[in-house]
Amino acid sequence: MFRRASTLLTRPLLSARARSFSADLPAASSTDDAFVAAWKKAIPTIDPPRTPLFFMAPRPATPSSIPTKLTVNFVLPYASELSAKEVDMVIIPATTGQMGVLPGHVATIAELKPGVLSVHEGSDTKKYFVSSGFAFIHGNSYADIIAVEAVPVDQIDPDQVQKGLAEFTQKLNSASTDLEKAEAQIGVDVHSALNAALTG
């Protein structure tokens, strides 16, 4: 390996092939052509195995101009709340703070914290309370939001929220082990976020 390092270090730099800093990406290939070619060269008598790219839909190309709408997929483990829904903006409760996502947003991955996810379409705003999850913002004005639990804010019972908050606060105050404290703290955090969603 060290013998090859000296030859790699002495190669001239290819300034003509400098990487562009454009956000425009071509459409992704639906097959892993390099892998298939290498496989056929090494083992020509056996068909190559299917890679994950075989099962995935090709990524659409990043448009050269910013679209007017953001396409949102909002899914839960047991349901799909929004599927390829075109909206004006989404506000996500990220662990780093509230994150507004508009068409043309830079590609980002954000962890969700308990809070309100609001979907803005014209003058209509649909609000969901999410417990946790991830948001994947793609450079082609697509957003995939995956939540563990979500419920429309208008379906939350304020009395049950207050009852749950009092119950978990009591558990936190009387917890004796680290596990009990952690479980109670999670309950307090979620019910506090629910309460803020209802009052805010």
Residue 35 counted as domain residue = no
Statement to judge: residues 132 and 73 lie in one domain = yes
Tell me which of 2-16, 37-51, 77-91, 107-121 is least confident: 2-16
Question: What is the pTM for the complete model shown?
Answer: 0.66
Residue 176 counted as domain residue = yes
Domain encompassing residue 112: 67-155
pLDDT of residue 119: 96
Which pair of structure tokens corresponds to residue 74? 């909002």
Residue 44 counted as domain residue = no
For the chain, percent of residues with pLDDT exceeding 90: 52
pLDDT of residue 96: 94
The pair phi, psi for residue 178, each rounded to 5°, is -65, -35
Residue 164 counted as domain residue = yes
User: What is the C-alpha separation between 170 and 90, in angstroms, rounded?
Assistant: 35
pLDDT of residue 33: 80
Question: Which secondary structure element, helix H or strand E, spans residue 109, and what is its range?
Answer: strand 108-112
Residue 182 counted as domain residue = yes
List b or e across 37-50, with b for residues whose CB sees 16 or more CB atoms inside 10 angstroms: eebeeeeeeeebee
Statement to judge: residues 179 and 146 lie in one domain = no
Statement to judge: residues 127 and 183 lie in one domain = no
* Residue whose pair of structure tokens reads 């309950």 in the numeric block: 187
In 3D, which of 57, 63, 76 has the Cα closest to residue 145? 76
Residue 82 counted as domain residue = yes
Statement to judge: residues 73 and 151 lie in one domain = yes
Residue pair 143/133 in contact (Cβ under 8 Å)? The answer is no
In 3D, which of 38, 55, 192, 200 has the Cα closest to residue 127? 200
Statement to judge: residues 94 and 151 lie in one domain = yes
| pLDDT over 50 (residue 14) | no
Residue pair 148/132 in contact (Cβ under 8 Å)? The answer is yes
What are the pLDDT digits (tens) for 35-73?
A: 888 888 998 898 888 777 677 676 666 667 888 999 999
Total number of domains in the chain: 2
Which of the 8 DSSP states describes residue 45?
T
